[in-house]
Chain A
Amino acid sequence: AQTVTQSQPEMSVQEAETVTLSCTYDTSESDYYLFWYKQPPSRQMILVIRQEAYKQQNATENRFSVNFQKAAKSFSLKISDSQLGDAAMYFCAYRSWYNNNDMRFGAGTRLTVKP
């Protein structure tokens, strides 16, 4: 079964600075999707960014970008110009192309933004 590992339980960043959250995954599949979800204190899970494994180009969404290294099975999230509203739990997730009913989540990274 696929596993997702987030090795940083907590991270902190100064407002306006850049922070990178790490994620690695284990799979024998060649086609899949990767996601970063944000969970603020309200508990609402919000999609931040997604990456299709067949695309070599890294996904970007405004201040959020990923560094997708397929061979290394690594999928890190970079947040630029951090804002106080970015403070949240961030979850990395994997969805198989072949068994798309099962999305695997990492344990999460709690991001604190210091003013």
Chain B
Amino acid sequence: NAGVTQTPKFRILKIGQSMTLQCTQDMNHNYMYWYRQDPGMGLKLIYYSVGAGITDKGEVPNGYNVSRSTTEDFPLRLELAAPSQTSVYFCASSTEDSPGLEAFFGQGTRLTVV
């Protein structure tokens, strides 16, 4: 069972560079999320999607973009990397079939912007 798969696991970016964090899930979940985790902090929601073609902003969307062309994939795009985007990024998915929409997480991507 693959669950939620994120790539890459680690990445170093220079200021101003762009990159896409990939996320795919094989559980046919409608809901997908991107979170960031800063040191000593809990996870904060960047963007979410309730289905293919539908995305919306979370708590900290500035500097990021997303798309959801298929149920399985939910990539996160950083256009102009800044040091403030140094963080660990988690993709998650959930389904209304699970009480409380229990979130299933990927293993995270550690991003450093220098």
Question: Is B one of A's binding partners?
Answer: yes
Q: Which residues of A contact B33 (CB under 8 A)?
A: 101, 103
Q: Would A50 and B102 count as touching, CB distance under 8 A? A: yes
With a 10 A CB-CB cut-off, give which of B43, B99, B105 has the most chain A CB atoms: B43
Task: Find chain B residues with CB under 8 A from A9 CB.
Answer: 40
Q: Are B103 and A42 in contact (CB under 8 A)?
A: no
A93 to chain B, nearest CB (A): 8
Q: Mark B45-58, 1 if CB is under 8 A from A, else 0.
A: 10010100000101
Query: How many of chain A's residues touch chain B, expressed as a range?
Result: 20 to 34
- Of the candidates B31, B48, B59, B102, the one whose C-beta lies within 8 Å of that of A35 is B102
State the CA gap A9–B40 with chains docked (Å).
8
Interface status of A4 (Cβ within 8 A of chain B) = yes
Chain B interface residue number, banded: 20 to 34
B108 pairs with A43, CB closer than 8 A: yes
Whether B31 lies near A101 (C-beta < 8 A) is yes
For chain A residues 53-95, which have a beta carbon within 8 Å of chain B?
91, 93, 95
Given contacts A33-B99, A35-B102, A52-B100, contact A107 B41 (CB under 8 A): yes
- Given the contacts A47-B102, A52-B100, A102 and B59 also touching, CB distance less than 8 Å: yes
Q: Give the distance in Å from the alpha carbon of A4 to the alpha carbon of B107 in the complex.
A: 23
Provide the bound-state CA to CA distance between A102 and B47, in Å: 10
Q: Return the contact of A45 from the options B40, B58, B59, B90 (Cβ within 8 A).
A: B90
Bound-state Cα–Cα, A45 to B43, Å: 11
A83 CA to B102 CA in the complex, in Å?
Answer: 25
Q: Which residues of B contact A30 (CB under 8 A)?
A: none
Q: Which residues of B contact A (CB under 8 A)?
A: 31, 33, 40-45, 48, 50, 56, 58-59, 88, 90, 92, 99-103, 105, 107-108, 110
10 contacts between A and B (CB under 8 A): A33-B99, A45-B103, A95-B101, A101-B50, A103-B45, A103-B103, A105-B42, A107-B40, A107-B41, A108-B42
Beyond known contacts A43-B88, A103-B45, A103-B103: 12 more, CB 8 A cutoff:
A4-B42, A35-B100, A35-B102, A43-B110, A44-B105, A45-B90, A45-B103, A47-B102, A93-B42, A95-B100, A102-B45, A108-B41
